[in-house]
Homo-oligomer: A and B are copies of this chain.
Amino acid sequence: MPKVAESTVRRLSLYLRFLEEFEGQGIATVSSGALASRGGTTSAQVRKDLSFFGSFGKRGLGYPVPELADQLREILGLKRRYRVGMIGAGKIGSALVQYRGFRQRGFDIIAIFDSDTSKIGRQWNGLTICDISALERELTKQPIDMAVLVTPAEAAQPVADRLVGLGVKAILNFAPVQLVVPDDVVVKTVNLALELETLSYALASR
């Protein structure tokens, strides 16, 4: 597969959402222009994004909605389910474990870990919060495909090192640190304050 920019991958995810909406409305074919206007981009951008992955649709006829949706699911690795471990049972963790968007997309949180003895043993969404000291034992019994890291900043790198040691290849990191991981591990960091800073920059640069 080609090496494509993350911005392209994000747009593919959005196109898939729009295609699913169109599918729900019984729309059979869609033009690049319609996909573009729904996503606030241009039809040239839509065609370019899709061209990385092959030839879709027919000139003048548009894209067949269910087929293109299916191909995007294939490209995005969404034709399977993923077992996700969550490390950190704080407020953000609590919101994420109940977030329906994950399960709808095929991401099942199957284990939760924390170091706080007042949290260990509690039930969250049918899952028992495990002691982080049992991380290796639990994840050997029930391996995960991805980890969501919602620990305090100082705990994030040591926990990431342990996850890497367990063979985890994908980490979604909410801790406000840049994790250092081997080249074959993919990390995506979400920093919520930083999202607000892109807004304050936009306001300040007017």
Q: Which residues of A pack against B, CB within 8 Å?
A: 1, 6, 9-10, 12-14, 17, 38-40, 75-78, 82, 84, 91-92, 94-96, 98-99, 101-102, 104-107, 145-146, 169-172, 176, 178, 180, 186, 188, 190-205
Partner of A10, one of B9, B82, B176, B194: B194
A118 to chain B, nearest CB (A): 17
A176 to chain B, nearest CB (A): 6
State whether A92 and B99 are in contact (beta carbons under 8 Å apart), knowing that A76-B200, A193-B104, A196-B107 are contacts in the complex.
yes
Between-chain CB contacts (< 8 Å), 21 pairs: A1-B205, A40-B180, A76-B200, A76-B204, A77-B197, A77-B204, A77-B205, A82-B200, A91-B94, A91-B95, A91-B98, A101-B176, A101-B191, A101-B193, A102-B196, A105-B193, A169-B203, A170-B199, A171-B199, A186-B199, A190-B192
Residues of B within 8 A of A95 (CB): 91-92, 94-95
- Cα A77 to Cα B1 in complex, Å, equals 40
Whether A186 pairs with B203 at a CB distance below 8 angstroms is yes
Partner of A176, one of B17, B76, B201: B17
Whether A172 pairs with B197 at a CB distance below 8 angstroms is no
Residues of B within 8 A of A205 (CB): 1, 75, 77
Nearest-neighbor residue (CB-CB) of A205 within chain B: B1
- Cα A192 to Cα B191 in complex, Å, equals 11
Whether A10 pairs with B98 at a CB distance below 8 angstroms is no
- Cα A99 to Cα B200 in complex, Å, equals 18
Whether B101 pairs with A200 at a CB distance below 8 angstroms is no
Partner of A105, one of B170, B186, B196: B196
State whether A145 and B198 are in contact (beta carbons under 8 Å apart), knowing that A14-B178, A96-B192, A193-B104 are contacts in the complex.
no
- Cα A78 to Cα B142 in complex, Å, equals 45
Nearest-neighbor residue (CB-CB) of A97 within chain B: B91
Nearest-neighbor residue (CB-CB) of A179 within chain B: B40
Residues of B within 8 A of A99 (CB): 91-92, 192-193
Whether A201 pairs with B92 at a CB distance below 8 angstroms is no
